[in-house]
Structure 1
Amino acid sequence: MSTPRHPRTARTSSGLHVPALDRRSFLGLSAAGLGALALSACSGPSTAQGTGPSSASALDFSGVKPAGKITMWSNHPGGSQDVEKSMVEAFNASQSDIEVSLVTAGANYEEVAQRFQTALAGGGLPGLVILSDVWWFRYFINDSIIPLDSILETVEMDTDDFRPSFFADYQYDDAQWAVPYARSTPVFYYNKEHWAAAGLPDRAPETWEEFGEWAPDLAAAGTGTQKVFHYPDMAGYAGWTFQNNAWGHGGSYSDGWVITIDEKPVVDALEWMRKGVNVDGWAGVTSNDQATDLSSGAISATVSSTGSLVGILESASFDVGVGFLPGGPAASSPVCPSGGAGLGIPKDITPEEQVAAATFLKFLTSPENAVAFSAATGYIPTRQSADVSELVTAAPQIQTAIDQVEVVRVQDYARAFLPGGDKAVADGVGRVLTQDEDPQAVLTDVRKRLEDIYASDVEPLLA
């Protein structure tokens, strides 16, 4: 198991087989492309009324027999309903002790979270529930999910085989609170024809500064684009991907619970972005979806989830390049954030139901099923031992995304752990890029907002 992260003192203002794949079948696997990563900026239902997490000491499941029936709640990320249904059916057919039912609990992570909160008060909880990277911690502090260490040992799950950075995303207080499931990272996408027209080397830029030097050549290449580059929609990915820029400049949103988003490195990163949009004019902010903008030829490059890959490949009439996220003047690695969703087990169900859920969880996240889920959605296989050869043969670009996982960085507390933290960051980035406000003043406002969230919604529950 990866080393858990620990809190700091806060500065506050107060059995399924993978089908053989070719390029055509790979591109046709999901109507949503390779699975859109549903990272909404909504703050969603409040968790502030909770009493705080219980002790993370090991629970004892020895001698507990699994319940005969449980449900799994999912929003089917990346159009995964069919493959999830197949995995549930395969599990039910593989044994006769546990019957799992798949429940569509919402259209996105926020709707699932709202239904889960309602069930916490009214009953009808699932055995397994899907929780995004910005949702699971809310249910940890609200004492609504169990630490998984003991129960995963009980069902003999090989947790060492999970990709370490993905597994570490769900660790706090020396315990594991969820297991990675639908996981992705952002990558740098570019139009190889535009690169050639501009006389650029066929690769992603190593740093954002290098890309800034390339941008005038791309703008002058006569490719007919609206802009050279589009940033993500502020309502979605901005809080996720801006971590890359902040880390590359040597900054961060937070250091543990200490909010650092308004310190000079992060301000410098946002100022660099502001100039590209509002001074030099080669960059813009998408009014739709940056992956669609790229595949239509409206821009030459963008940053988007690995879940955008199949949609881009299917729609583009040009060769698509894929590269690691660029670094910055202070750091080139690790500057790529992880993202996506995991699966947790509710606290207020019976131990028998919890053991049944863990038994199914072991099956669901096996290396074989991790590949099957990836093939159907585009999320990165969560298991290190997963055989990805057919995936890579069908779409070689996915190898870049898989390779980048080795240098993925666990997200900052300020985004992943603070309820509404993602939205607070995205709102601030939007003010600078779309309204041309001063980065220092805006990020100071964001810091105060994040500190208020910590002081009101998190710190009292951790005390």
Structure 2
Amino acid sequence: MSALINRFGRRSMLGLLGAAGIGAAAGCARDYTQVGGSAVPARYRGRLHLIAWHSFASTTGEALVAIVDRFNASQSEIFIEPQYQGSYEETQQKLSATLIARQIPDLVVLSEVTWRAMHLADALEPLEGYFDTDLQPSDYIEQFITEGTVKDHIWWLPFARSTPLFYFNKTLFRKAGLPDRAPRTWTEFRQWAPAIKRQKGGGNAVMPLALDGGYSAWYFQGNMWQWKARYSDGLDIRLDEPNGMAAVTWMADFVHKDKAAYLSPSSSVDFGNQAASCALMSTASLAQTVELAKARKFDLGTGFLPEHETFGCPTGGSGWGILAHAPAHRKQAAFEFLKYLGRPETSATWTMATGYLPIVKKAQQDPRLVDLIKKDPNFSTSLDQLPKARTQDLARLVIPDASNFMDDAFETLYSSGIAPTTMFKQLAKKMRRKAELLEDNYRAHYE
């Protein structure tokens, strides 16, 4: 352990606690134990063993494990063990349970929603005191580092950051006689829908748009802004105002009257099978969709989200938090891993493997990423759209369970005959009731 302290010796542990503003947490840390891990491989024995919880499966999980392996091989004092915990929501639920049991991992991946729940629970370590000449907050893309900052404290460091993209099948578009681009507006897309529906995919008529059954409220955040509406202003619920009603009515009509969109169990599967010509999906789906398009032999296109009265696109995805109740030396070691993730070459590697956005500015200059974008411009769409994207309205992010019950409301809208205005009135009433219960805690942490 002395080697680790010596390595970070220019900041003593007491100095670290003072810089991070968590002196009281050091005493509490003795009451918490580390969650269980696997046996450390022989070649890494003697190192400080850290547990990192994450929510990445399949391709993205493999990409994370590869990065962790490179970190473990890059130095001789820290061993990171990544542990998959399920979805973002499942990871938060497990973290809440372990906190009650006074057991914690050292690091955890949290979504743009779940990190705020942990922040409101005072479970996260403020990170601004850990930065040094190797990594500064200014190295990150500004809107990403800003999203994890509250009252000048950095609680959440970006990692798997995303926006929705408009994915379209260029081969089907050509057959339908449509332009070789995404629709610029929803009205234009509505005009294109009949030509798309005349095409065949897998022997059946092609649907213009598959709407994913997960994170519906995240995708519809863009629609709200496109109609000059908002979910909320702080905790002041605004979604049932006239512009919001217009936005939800338009999309309901697109589904039920125009029959141009539908709620899909998996938009990525339907898009890949060419049952739908277009899908709204995260940038995180890009790398897998590129490979799927090659396998199914169609040309893939990506574009900005369609506009209406204006443009609207939310940021999303996840980042890392360090648990406040961990001992000081473990938190310092955990931040060393976060510094590794903030290296431009690491960030570029993650982007190329997954489609997630780069998190640091210099990653965009990595020759490998530059070359990939030249070969496949789809990897530049999210970067080009990012300056126009913004943080979601706060009510969805901080009201407990808002993401889940908002998703349920939109999925009911798309799959049933409920009147859209009725749905929005019911949703607004529920959100106002939940917001009232949160108000005191919200003010203490945000105002």
TM over 0.5: yes
The alpha-carbon deviation at position 158 of structure 1 amounts to 2.0
The alpha-carbon deviation at position 121 of structure 1 amounts to 2.5
Q: 2:222 aligns with which of 244, 254, 257?
A: 244
Report what 1:260 is aligned to: 238
Is 1:59 aligned to 2:18, yes or no? no
Aligned partner letter, 1:95: Q
The alpha-carbon deviation at position 366 of structure 1 amounts to 1.4
SS at match of 2:158: strand
- The total of aligned residue pairs comes to 396
Report what 2:354 is aligned to: 377
Q: 2:74 aligns with which of 69, 91, 94?
A: 94
Distance 2:267 2:56 in 1: 22
Aligned partner letter, 1:217: A
Question: Does the CA contact (< 8 Å) of 2:164 and 2:219 recur in 1?
Answer: yes
**Counterparts in 2 of 1:192 and 1:94: CA distance versus 1, 3 Å:** closer
Name the structure, 1 or 2, with higher relative contact order (CA <8 Å, separation 6+): 1
Is 1:151 aligned to 2:133, yes or no? no
Moved more, 193-202 or 388-397: 388-397
Report what 1:4 is aligned to: none
Report what 1:277 is aligned to: 255
**Counterparts in 2 of 1:225 and 1:398: CA distance versus 1, 3 Å:** farther
SS at match of 1:190: strand
Report what 1:436 is aligned to: 417
Please, what is the CA RMSD of the aligned residues?
A: 2.4
Moved more, 381-390 or 251-260: 381-390
Task: Output one character per residue of 1:84-109: Cα deviation in whole Å (capped at 9) or x when no partner.
Answer: 3333333333333x313223141222
Report what 2:5 is aligned to: none
Is 1:211 aligned to 2:173, yes or no? no
Distance 1:252 1:203 in 2: 28
The correspondence of residues 392-431 of structure 1 with structure 2, limited to 5 A, is 392-393=373-374, 395-431=376-412
Q: 1:179 aligns with which of 126, 148, 157?
A: 157
The alpha-carbon deviation at position 396 of structure 1 amounts to 2.8
Q: 1:451 aligns with which of 426, 432, 437?
A: 432
Distance 1:421 1:60 in 2: 30
Identity of aligned residues (%): 32
Report what 1:314 is aligned to: 291
The correspondence of residues 15-164 of structure 1 with structure 2, limited to 5 A, is 59=21, 68-77=48-57, 79-96=59-76, 98-152=77-131, 154=132, 156-164=134-142
The alpha-carbon deviation at position 248 of structure 1 amounts to 0.2
Question: Does the CA contact (< 8 Å) of 2:252 and 2:414 recur in 1?
Answer: yes
Report what 1:202 is aligned to: 180
Q: Which runs of 4+ in 1 moved over 6 A?
A: none
Runs (5+) with no aligned partner, structure 1: 1-55
The alpha-carbon deviation at position 59 of structure 1 amounts to 1.7
The alpha-carbon deviation at position 457 of structure 1 amounts to 4.0
SS at match of 2:222: helix
Question: Does the CA contact (< 8 Å) of 1:75 and 1:130 recur in 2?
Answer: yes
SS at match of 1:402: helix
SS at match of 2:59: coil
**Counterparts in 2 of 1:238 and 1:155: CA distance versus 1, 3 Å:** same
Question: Does the CA contact (< 8 Å) of 1:165 and 1:338 recur in 2?
Answer: no
Aligned partner letter, 1:355: Q
The alpha-carbon deviation at position 156 of structure 1 amounts to 4.8
Question: Does the CA contact (< 8 Å) of 1:418 and 1:458 recur in 2?
Answer: no
Runs (5+) with no aligned partner, structure 2: 1-17, 27-46
Aligned partner letter, 1:115: K
The alpha-carbon deviation at position 398 of structure 1 amounts to 1.1
SS at match of 1:336: coil
Question: Does the CA contact (< 8 Å) of 1:274 and 1:436 recur in 2?
Answer: no
Distance 2:388 2:102 in 1: 41
Distance 2:70 2:54 in 1: 17
Task: Output one character per residue of 1:40-62: Cα deviation in whole Å (capped at 9) or x when no partner.
Answer: xxxxxxxxxxxxxxxx995279x
Distance 2:237 2:380 in 1: 35
The alpha-carbon deviation at position 456 of structure 1 amounts to 2.1
Moved more, 413-422 or 67-76: 67-76
Name which one, 1 or 2, has greater alpha-carbon Rg: 2
Report what 1:366 is aligned to: 343
Aligned partner letter, 1:85: V
Question: Does the CA contact (< 8 Å) of 2:208 and 2:276 recur in 1?
Answer: yes
Distance 1:376 1:244 in 2: 26
Question: Does the CA contact (< 8 Å) of 1:72 and 1:101 recur in 2?
Answer: yes
Normalized against structure 1, the TM-score is what? Answer: 0.79
Question: Does the CA contact (< 8 Å) of 2:135 and 2:342 recur in 1?
Answer: no
The alpha-carbon deviation at position 314 of structure 1 amounts to 2.6
Report what 1:35 is aligned to: none
Q: 1:338 aligns with which of 290, 315, 338?
A: 315
The alpha-carbon deviation at position 441 of structure 1 amounts to 1.8
Distance 2:133 2:324 in 1: 17
**Counterparts in 2 of 1:222 and 1:58: CA distance versus 1, 3 Å:** closer
Question: Does the CA contact (< 8 Å) of 2:200 and 2:206 recur in 1?
Answer: no
SS at match of 2:207: coil
The alpha-carbon deviation at position 394 of structure 1 amounts to 5.1
Question: Does the CA contact (< 8 Å) of 1:168 and 1:410 recur in 2?
Answer: no
Normalized against structure 2, the TM-score is what? Answer: 0.82
Distance 1:268 1:259 in 2: 16
**Counterparts in 2 of 1:256 and 1:353: CA distance versus 1, 3 Å:** same
The alpha-carbon deviation at position 129 of structure 1 amounts to 1.0
